[in-house]
């Protein structure tokens, strides 16, 4: 169990527009939905109406892409106010975003841009995480990004940075095992070391996803089934954390809902088996 006692919601999928009709009419037996915060913060139309229906029936966690927690621009207070309101509206179990920055000088490039991992970036990010947690009145959960660039000024590994950030800002971790795999390929580290090093008691959610191998690098495309190596990393991590809410991400070439859900349910085979009572020995055996 994580240090905040945030529940294991089971195995969920992302709420995507193409599945709205299916979800409302079929009410599939999904454990929970992850909702992209920015898609619902500025609409009063159909998406918000659907979200309200879904939140009535399923547990929800919010996942954002524009908090820009690592940016050197000031925090966007209006964004945080709307995020907090959406979390209250959906009774979200937690609110997550990414360890990244998305723009400076008032711009947003709408990408999860990488951070240098050094003491300056750590101090800067930790201070902002504390501010956000205070505003949201809940611990912020941050996802490890996939990245294609390493900075010469980095003095810490990503897993060291995340561990230190957790200590200094008391934030949770959304551990994306596909991102670990992608970055390990792109940067040439052992993903098992990463998995074994992150603080297990801060992991409140997993992401599993597919990617695209371009030969020279891997793109985190969320466009396919997850490869066996990613599932094995997931199994390895579950052994450390126990069962934690798990979500399958599929954002490009999104398949029918049942295909997506079936892919997500593969996680069952890799999660920790529930503790079993010791087997009884038959008398006389």
Partner 1 sequence: MALEAPLSRVQRWMQEVVVHPGSIDEALASKAARAEVPPERLGDVVLPSRTLAPAQRVEIYQRMYLLRMEEALGIDYPALARFLGPRGFRDLVRDYVASFPSRSYTLNRLGDHLPAFVLAAGGLRHRGFCHDLARLELAMTEVFDETETPSLSAEAVAAVPAEAWAAARLRPIAAFRLLALRYPANAYVQSIRGRGHRHPRPRRQDGWLAVYRRNYSVRRLELSLPAYRLLSELVAGAPLGPAVAAAARRRPGSGAGPTQLYRWFRAWMAKGLFMGLEGLEPSTNRL
Q: How far is the CB of 38 from partner 1 (least distance, A)?
A: 5
169 contacts 130 by C-beta, under 8 angstroms: yes
For partner 1, give the closer residue by CB, 5 or 25: 25
For residue 169, the cross-strand partners are none
For partner 1, give the closer residue by CB, 127 or 262: 127
**40 φ/ψ angles, rounded to the nearest 5 degrees:** -125, 0
Q: How far is the CB of 54 from partner 1 (least distance, A)?
A: 14
How many CA atoms lie within 13 Å of 75's alpha carbon, on the beta-carbon side?
18
Q: How far is the CB of 148 from partner 1 (least distance, A)?
A: 4
Could you give the angle at which helices 77-90 and 46-57 cross, rounded to 10 degrees? Answer: 50
For partner 1, give the closer residue by CB, 186 or 246: 186
Residues that bind partner 1 in the complex, under the rule CB under 8 A: 38-39, 41-46, 48-49, 66-67, 71-72, 76, 79, 101, 103-111, 113, 116, 120-121, 124, 148-153, 186-188, 215-217, 219
Distance (Å, rounded) from C-alpha 23 to C-alpha 32?
12
Count the neighbouring beta carbons within 10 Å of the beta carbon of residue 275.
Answer: 7
For partner 1, give the closer residue by CB, 109 or 259: 109
**Alpha-helix runs per DSSP H in 6-118:** 20-26, 46-57, 77-90
Q: How far is the CB of 203 from partner 1 (least distance, A)?
A: 26
For partner 1, give the closer residue by CB, 45 or 274: 45
For partner 1, give the closer residue by CB, 253 or 258: 253
Q: How far is the CB of 134 from partner 1 (least distance, A)?
A: 19
* Tokens found for residue 266: 């593969």
Q: How far is the CB of 72 from partner 1 (least distance, A)?
A: 4
Count the neighbouring beta carbons within 10 Å of the beta carbon of residue 203.
Answer: 24
For partner 1, give the closer residue by CB, 25 or 216: 216
Nearest one of 197, 127, 211 to 162, comparing CA atoms:
197
Q: What is the dihedral of CA 216, 214, 110, 108, to 10 degrees?
A: 30
With 0-12 / 13-18 / 19 or more C-beta atoms within 10 angstroms meaning exposed / middle / buried, residue 106 is: exposed
Distance (Å, rounded) from C-alpha 208 to C-alpha 248?
5
For partner 1, give the closer residue by CB, 22 or 124: 124
* Tokens found for residue 19: 């599945």
């Amino acid at each position: 169990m994580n240090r905040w006692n945030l529940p294991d919601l089971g195995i969920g999928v992302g709420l995507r527009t193409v599945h709205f009709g299916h979800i409302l009419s079929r009410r599939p037996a999904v454990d929970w939905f992850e909702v992209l915060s920015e898609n619902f913060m500025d609409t009063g139309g159909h998406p918000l109406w659907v979200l309200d229906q879904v939140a009535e029936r399923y547990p929800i966690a919010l996942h954002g892409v524009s908090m820009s927690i690592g940016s050197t621009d000031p925090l966007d207070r209006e964004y945080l106010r709307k995020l907090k309101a959406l979390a209250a509206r959906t009774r979200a179990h937690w609110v997550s975003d990414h360890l990244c920055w998305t723009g400076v000088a008032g711009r947003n490039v709408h990408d999860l841009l990488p951070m240098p991992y050094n003491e300056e970036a750590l101090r800067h990010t930790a201070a902002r995480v504390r501010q956000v947690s205070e505003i949201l009145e809940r611990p912020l959960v941050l996802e490890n990004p996939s990245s294609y660039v390493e900075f010469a000024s980095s003095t810490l590994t990503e897993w060291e940075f995340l561990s230190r950030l957790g200590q200094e800002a008391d934030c949770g971790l959304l551990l994306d095992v596909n991102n670990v795999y992608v970055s390990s390929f792109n940067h040439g580290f052992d993903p098992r070391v990463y998995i074994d090093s992150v603080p297990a008691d801060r992991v409140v959610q997993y992401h599993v996803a597919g990617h695209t191998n371009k030969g020279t690098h891997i793109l985190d495309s969320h466009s396919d089934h997850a490869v066996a190596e990613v599932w094995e990393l997931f199994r390895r991590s579950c052994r450390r954390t126990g069962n934690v809410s798990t979500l399958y991400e599929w954002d490009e070439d999104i398949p029918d809902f049942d295909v997506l859900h079936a892919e997500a349910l593969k996680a069952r085979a890799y999660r920790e088996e529930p503790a079993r009572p010791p087997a009884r020995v038959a008398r006389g055996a």
